[in-house]
Amino acid sequence: MSEERVIPVIEHLVELRKRLVIIVIAIVVGMGVAWNFSSDLLKFVEKPLSGKTYLTEIKKGVYLKVKELSPSMYTRYKLDQEINTPQKQHQLNYSAPLEPFFIQCKISMLAGFVMVLPVVFYQIWSFVAPGLTRREQRLVVPFVFAATVTFCIGAMFFLVIIWPVIINFSLSYEAEGLQSWFNISAYVNFCLRLILLFGLIFELPVLTLLLARFGIVSYQFLAPKRKYALLVSSIVAAFHADLITMFVIMIPLYLMYEISIWVALIFGKKRVIVNDEIPEPAA
């Protein structure tokens, strides 16, 4: 490899190191700020263990509707016991020294990462910006804003909608002689991993928007590949052992691909049709 080719590679590596150092420093600062309310975040993650979620409210509403429309069915299936049965309080447990401390560090790190997402995305944009045109470089503010918002939406969608479903499904297997005993590390690590995954899944339309604006992908390229997108979504979801988690990952991931197709259609670079490409009218 000639010296002329080596120098640009070294310059890119130096620039990459600079951006990574800034990102790490920003995450450490964000982690320090998030440490003050990490206990509140843990309580929010633990909330489905109380048994009081939107799912229980929906269930109660359905049973009351059955009581109103069909009192005999309500009595026959003893739905009143389902409504009036007190919810069992579950607690997290730990079995290793300093385990709660390290969990607090992990929660603070992820929360700090989310807090400094604008810095992270700006550094990513700054690294690739030299290869863009001046007009494309002006998209930095919309990109940083859209990427930050969509990541937060994905994380909150998981925490508010999906996480209670997973925990309620897990608790439904409790029976006489079979009780849950949640380890804090397994519980929190599972939750944090899925928060990060859902945040990245919701980034897909933003990434597609940029690639479509740059003319790299298009609606015509993405639309015929739906079956491959479904296959990839299934493969990504298959890395999780339980069936419920697989479905709650696969379905949003494929839906984000469908949204990306329409994003490419609406916001993609319009193709200029030359005279030779104009189809002749049918005879």
Average pLDDT on 267-281 reads 53
Q: Tell whether 206 is covered by a domain.
A: yes
Q: Tell whether 272 is covered by a domain.
A: no
pLDDT of residue 2: 52
CA-wise closest residue to 266 among 214, 229, 213, 221: 213
Q: Report the predicted TM-score, pTM, of the whole model to 2 decimal places.
A: 0.83
Of 25-39, 80-94, 192-206, the least confident: 80-94
- Of residues 176 and 198, the one with the higher pLDDT is 198
Contact 35, 104 (CB under 8 A): yes
Contact 115, 34 (CB under 8 A): yes
pLDDT of residue 132: 74
Query: Residue 279 in 3-state DSSP?
Result: coil
Q: Tell whether 273 is covered by a domain.
A: no
In angstroms, the CA 253 to CA 186 distance is 24
Q: Tell whether 164 is covered by a domain.
A: yes
pLDDT averaged over the chain? Answer: 84
Q: Tell whether 234 is covered by a domain.
A: yes
Q: What is the pLDDT of residues 131-147, one digit of tens each?
A: 777 877 788 888 999 99
Cα distances (Å, whole numbers) of residue 236 to 138, 197, 250: 34, 10, 7
Contact 117, 147 (CB under 8 A): yes
pLDDT band at 241 (very low <50, low <70, confident <90, very high): low
Q: Tell whether 279 is covered by a domain.
A: no
Q: What is the pLDDT of residues 1-37, one digit of tens each?
A: 455 555 677 888 888 899 999 999 999 999 999 999 9
Query: Residue 97 in 3-state DSSP?
Result: coil
Number of folded domains that form the chain: 1
- Cβ-count burial 249-268 (b if 16+ within 10 Å, e if not): bbebbbebbeebbebbeeeb
Residue 102 has pLDDT above 80, yes or no: yes
Average pLDDT on 161-190 reads 86
Q: Tell whether 276 is covered by a domain.
A: no
pLDDT of residue 282: 43
pLDDT band at 86 (very low <50, low <70, confident <90, very high): low
Q: Tell whether 172 is covered by a domain.
A: yes
Q: Give the domain extent around 219.
A: 3-267
